[in-house]
Amino acid sequence: MGETKKNMAIIEIDGKKFEAEEGENLLQFLLKNKFPIPHLCYHPDYEPAEACRLCLVEVDGKIKTSCGVKIKDGMKIITTSEKIKKLQMTNLRLIAYSKLRKQNRQKFNFDKIIEFDMAKCVDCGLCIRSCPVFAIAFYGYGINQKVAPTKNPCVYCGQCLVHCPVFAINTDQNEFQRIVKNIKTKKIKIAQVAPSIRSSLGEMFGYPHEKMSGEKVVAALKALGFDYVFDTAFGADFTTFEEAKELIERLKTGENLPMLTSCCPAWINYLKFYQPELLPLLTSVLPPEIIAGNLIKHYFSKKIGVLPKDIYLVSIMPCTAKKSEIRRKELVVDGVFPVDDVLTTVELGTFLKKEKIDFISLKEISFDNPLGEATGAGVIFGVTGGVMTAALRTAYFLLSGKNAKDLYFEKEITSLKGMKMFNLELLGKKLKVAIIDGLKNFYQIKDRLSEFDYIEVMACPGGCLAGGGQPKPVNSNIRQKRREVLYRIDKEKAIKTSHDNPFLKKIYSEFLTEEKIIHKYCHLKH
Amino acid sequence: MTKEEVIEKIKFSGLCGRGGAGYPTGKKWEEMYKRNPKEIYICVNGSEGEPGARKDGYILEYHLKELIEGIKIAYYLFPQTKRIYLYLRKDYFKNYKEKVELLKENLPLAVFKEPGGYLCGENTVLVNSIEGKRFEPRKKPPYLSEVGLFGKPTIVNNIETFYRVYQIVNDIYENKRFYTIGGEAKNPGVFDLPVDITIKQVLMATDNLIYENQFVQLGGGASGIFYTFDEIDKQSANFGTGVILIYNKKTSMVQIFKEKLDFLIKENCGKCTPCREGLYFLYKLVENNKLLDPSLERQIEDVIENLVVSSFCGLGSGAGLAFKSLWEKRKKIWP
């Protein structure tokens, strides 16, 4: 059988005929067709809650919340009647009126990383639905209802933040001010920029999702006073190279399988807090940001003749959990942390706006060298599946001495909702790998880990490109557009495999010359 | 008696659920019987959260054996029942749990202590609360008869409904229901009277006839409809949980609003805007002495209408209808 064709439904909206898919969500269809339906508690990522009662329409004469209606053939919908308008306005006014009792509510925060301003909360419940670990919940009833932390520790993925419709959830603003002050006062300031920022920072200044603006990001950071700006994707090439070596080693010995990726800090937090027994399965290779930090502080510092402790290194990340990762004491090398502070994409955008730096009119500047040029493999780390694809490209090369023909390993992929599994030949044996898109989906394979050899987990659906530090809104369309940007960069890069990066080769021959040194800067036993 | 005969009898009796919504019991049970799912749950709702209602307590006190017999009939129809939950509000649980345990024999029945308040009486909230979830209504469809407790098809009926089923099957049903009379009544209490009589007839039969300076709320203290003295001889008393509360005109509308709102702003689940915020808006008006401000009339009417029309569940619209009826009749009651 070929593709099963979905049933079409002809519906009438405000007297006009439309063709829709049978069973499609009515609110989504209305929004897609530019009907301005107000809504707060609906997000296409989750099941509708039908709580805010703003998206009311008349369906065959009955008043319904359109987010909870599935389209059926012959439906008659009215969106503009006086009655509907009045009800929508009343609910909107009531939500505004609720500020009166909420104004004195306390803020709470998760470890000075994610901050909840309960005075702004509109009880939509999207944060609760987005949380992969049930770290927040509604408490109390009626007018005493409040969102509050549960006993479950937060993994700082920040999905609550990107799904909150009213900016009640933010990164910790005191911390943000502290970092801003540091940037203004420290002497030697270096920034590194994660691959996913390339398209998303521009969104905050009106660029379309698909527009690349990596060089503008560099220019913006220089305008803020950073002396050097490096590409975190370059660190990703080191992660890839080391991770491929470790994968081969583990496959040879058959021990510690499946190997789990370690570049998503929310995922590591999840393991630390909830399943510490799995920590030994993590690859010992450090995430790109941390390796890049080590190289900047201990290798690049020598090039410019300064001490590692005198460098103030800020990472620009699409991620809130990175803020927790850089605080880990185990990461300290020779008395200094690899990275001093993390700014999220949104924080950087806010900072630029406050400084009145006009992003659009900035002249483009390239990343600094010798830590600037990354391969395509390094860039796709920002997409779910990218880490694994990059590592497999290099593992293939290390085993066979040549690069694979299909660099995307797209054969035999079985897709489930939120995860991909596929088999491939490596070392003459079948390798079963899984890519988990969104921490919630890890629960699907939690009890069958032994079936796999290699598992990548990204806590945020879509990967870093839709991380907790990225601009709002985020939905499957926007994720797709941001994904295309990163894959386009990969396709356009002459070098798509980490092991072929000439700068990487140079650093291995100049600096990372012995196993001991490599381990010091690129590995950590979890 | 065969199962088909039992169902036929219940259907023929015209029995409607006595929890408030009034869905035909025979139809509900027949549908489940025909579908015949592998496993089902039965919940016997004794939450009795409507302010003023006491009839479930009355049945537990005076007709407990008959209630258990009624539940047995349901179990006879549905032997695939995994568990029967007798869901009791806290005071009923305390007083009757032991007695039920002694009477239940081999029924797979568990007496369940209601963990919350008023809103747990709503069937989908009840199911959520047994599952240990937050007390929040579920969206229908799917109906509980399809996807109910722990995902299984579930029958939820009020305590009185099971008691009446016992009467029907034993041919002693006289088409009666329990009325709880309260408020400023001369002779308050629970009374067993015919279903199809007017409010006035109920009040007469129970020696509670009201005077011109009185009015009533029919159905329950939170979601009951208000009727003036002139209306009681036309209005059927068969509504909601069968509560009739009697009020005196000396009580002002503001006082009644206040009493209801003090209860409702804490007892609503908090999920939807019309209920959580609409009730809060009205509450603040009362608090700031603005309920009778003529310039706010339109706004008050909008909020009440919104509560009726756009609430997520029946509790919200029920409360809305209560306020709406009082508001609309205010000039008649307090000319």
Tokens (6 digits) for A469: 């530090």
Residue B129: which residues within 8 A CB-CB, separation 6 or more? B114, B115, B116, B120, B135
All residues of chain A having their beta carbon less than 8 Å from the beta carbon of residue B279 are 142-143
Contact A90 B277 (CB under 8 A): no
* Beta-bridge partners for B216: B227, B246
DSSP H or E segment with residue B65 = helix B64-77
Chain A nearest-CA residue for B264:
A142
Residues 102-121 of B with CB under 8 A from A: 116, 119
CA pair distance A366, A364, nearest whole angstrom = 7
This complex has an ipTM of 0.92
Chain A nearest-CA residue for B316:
A142
CA quadruple B229, B230, B234, B239: dihedral sign? negative
Contact B265 A54 (CB under 8 A): no
Chain B nearest-CA residue for A47:
B139
Contact B272 A143 (CB under 8 A): no
All residues of chain B having their beta carbon less than 8 Å from the beta carbon of residue A129 are none
All residues of chain B having their beta carbon less than 8 Å from the beta carbon of residue A124 are none
CA pair distance B138, A235, nearest whole angstrom = 49
Residue A219: which residues within 8 A CB-CB, separation 6 or more? A362, A363, A364, A365
CA pair distance A361, A15, nearest whole angstrom = 46
Please tell me which of the candidates A87, A95, A142 has its beta carbon nearest to residue B309. A87
Contact A98 B277 (CB under 8 A): yes
Chain A nearest-CA residue for B311:
A53
A512 CA: distance to closest CA in chain B (Å): 55
**Cβ of residue B22 closer than 8 Å to a chain A Cβ:** no
Tokens (6 digits) for A74: 């012959």
Contact B267 A86 (CB under 8 A): no
Please tell me which of the candidates A51, A94, A143 has its beta carbon nearest to residue B312. A51
Burial B199-233 (b: 16+ CB within 10 A, else e): bbbbbeebebbbeeebbbbbbbbbbbbbbbbebbe
Amino acid in the structure at residue B286:
V
pLDDT digits (tens, 9 = 90+) for A76-106: 999 999 999 999 999 999 999 999 999 999 9
- Put the strands of the sheet holding A341-344 in their side by side order: A228-231, A188-193, A311-317, A341-344
DSSP states along B74-124: HHHH-TTEEEEEEEE-HHHHHHHHHHHHHH-TT--EEEEE--SSGGGGSHH
Residue B65: which residues within 8 A CB-CB, separation 6 or more? B103
3-state helix, strand, coil in chain A (%, to 5): 45, 20, 40
Q: Bin B20: left if φ > 0, else alpha if -120 < ψ < 50, else beta.
A: left
CA pair distance B290, B296, nearest whole angstrom = 8
- Pick among A46, A94, A100 to test the B interface (most B CBs inside 10 A): A94
DSSP states along B45-56: EE---STT--HH
Task: Check: CB of residue A131 under 8 Å from CB of residue A150.
Answer: no
- Put the strands of the sheet holding A169-171 in their side by side order: A107-110, A114-117, A169-171
Per residue of chain A (526 residues), give pLDDT as tens: 444 567 899 999 999 999 999 999 999 999 999 999 999 999 999 999 999 999 999 999 999 999 999 999 999 999 999 999 999 999 999 999 999 999 999 999 999 999 999 999 999 999 999 999 999 999 999 999 999 999 999 999 999 999 999 999 999 999 999 999 999 999 999 999 999 998 899 999 999 998 888 899 999 999 999 999 999 999 999 999 999 999 999 999 988 999 999 999 999 999 999 999 999 999 999 999 999 999 999 999 999 999 999 999 999 999 999 999 999 999 999 999 999 999 999 999 999 999 999 999 999 999 998 776 889 999 999 999 999 999 999 999 999 888 888 887 765 555 567 888 888 877 677 889 999 999 999 998 999 999 999 999 999 999 999 999 999 999 999 999 999 999 999 999 999 999 999 999 999 999 999 999 999 999 997 6
The CA-atom distances, in angstroms, between B223 and each of A131, A274, A341, B120, B305 are 36, 45, 56, 15, 14
CA pair distance A113, A111, nearest whole angstrom = 5
Tokens (6 digits) for A312: 């103030």
Contact A91 B280 (CB under 8 A): no
B72 CA: distance to closest CA in chain A (Å): 36
Output DSSP code: residue A300. I
Residue A173: which residues within 8 A CB-CB, separation 6 or more? A115
Q: Cα A412 to chain center, whole Å?
A: 26
**Residue B319: its pLDDT value, please?**
97
All residues of chain A having their beta carbon less than 8 Å from the beta carbon of residue B140 are none
Cα angle: A276, vertex A281, A286; to 5 degrees: 95
Please tell me which of the candidates B272, B302, B309 has its beta carbon nearest to residue A51. B272
Give me the torsion for CA of A104, A110, A113, A114, rounded to 10°: -50
Burial A268-283 (b: 16+ CB within 10 A, else e): bbbbbeeeeebeebbb
- Pick among B268, B277, B308, B311 to test the A interface (most A CBs inside 10 A): B277
Residue A266: which residues within 8 A CB-CB, separation 6 or more? A155, A156, A157, A158, A319, A321, A439, A459, A460, A468
Please tell me which of the candidates A54, A65, A142 has its beta carbon nearest to residue B276. A142
CA pair distance B124, B116, nearest whole angstrom = 13
Please tell me which of the candidates A87, A100, A123 has its beta carbon nearest to residue B310. A87
CA pair distance A454, B229, nearest whole angstrom = 78
Burial A466-479 (b: 16+ CB within 10 A, else e): bbbbbbeebbeebb
A69 CA: distance to closest CA in chain B (Å): 11
All residues of chain A having their beta carbon less than 8 Å from the beta carbon of residue B264 are 142
* CA neighbor of A227 nearest in space, from A317, A305, A329: A305
**Cβ of residue B273 closer than 8 Å to a chain A Cβ:** yes
* CA neighbor of B266 nearest in space, from B117, B54, B46: B117
**Residue A2: its pLDDT value, please?**
41
Cα angle: A481, vertex A484, A490; to 5 degrees: 155
Amino acid in the structure at residue B177:
R
Q: Where are the beta strands (DSSP E) in chain B?
A: 40-46, 81-88, 109-113, 154-158, 176-183, 189-194, 214-218, 225-227, 243-248
A166 CA: distance to closest CA in chain B (Å): 16
**Residue A1: its pLDDT value, please?**
40
DSSP states along A231-289: EHHHHHHHHHHHHHHHHHHHHHHT-S-SEE----HHHHHHHHHH-GGGGGGB-SBPPHH
Residues 193-212 of B with CB under 8 A from A: none
Tokens (6 digits) for B319: 């409360």
Q: Where are the beta strands (DSSP E) in A267-382?
A: 311-317, 341-344
Low pLDDT (below 70) residues in chain B? none
Tokens (6 digits) for A491: 């396709």
* CA neighbor of A216 nearest in space, from A232, A235, A229: A229
All residues of chain A having their beta carbon less than 8 Å from the beta carbon of residue B266 are 141-144
Please tell me which of the candidates A86, A95, A140 has its beta carbon nearest to residue B273. A95
A221 CA: distance to closest CA in chain B (Å): 44
**Residue A189: its pLDDT value, please?**
97
Task: Check: CB of residue B49 under 8 Å from CB of residue B118.
Answer: yes
Please tell me which of the candidates B265, B273, B311 has its beta carbon nearest to residue A142. B265
**Cβ of residue B312 closer than 8 Å to a chain A Cβ:** yes
CA pair distance B161, A363, nearest whole angstrom = 78
DSSP H or E segment with residue A230 = strand A228-231
CA pair distance B307, A84, nearest whole angstrom = 13
Chain A nearest-CA residue for B305:
A87
**Cβ of residue B291 closer than 8 Å to a chain A Cβ:** no
Contact A142 B311 (CB under 8 A): no
The CA-atom distances, in angstroms, between B22 and each of A488, B14, B157, B209 are 62, 11, 10, 26
Chain A nearest-CA residue for B273:
A52
Question: Which pTM was predicted?
Answer: 0.92
Contact A87 B284 (CB under 8 A): no
Tokens (6 digits) for A90: 């009343």
Tokens (6 digits) for A135: 């770290």
* CA neighbor of A111 nearest in space, from A349, A330, A327: A327
**Residue A400: its pLDDT value, please?**
87
**Residue A366: its pLDDT value, please?**
93
**Residue A416: its pLDDT value, please?**
60
CA pair distance B50, B55, nearest whole angstrom = 11
A·B CB contacts under 8 A: 93
All residues of chain A having their beta carbon less than 8 Å from the beta carbon of residue B120 are none
**Cβ of residue B270 closer than 8 Å to a chain A Cβ:** yes
Classified as helix, coil or strand, B24 is: strand
Cα angle: A223, vertex A225, A229; to 5 degrees: 85
3-state helix, strand, coil in chain B (%, to 5): 45, 15, 35
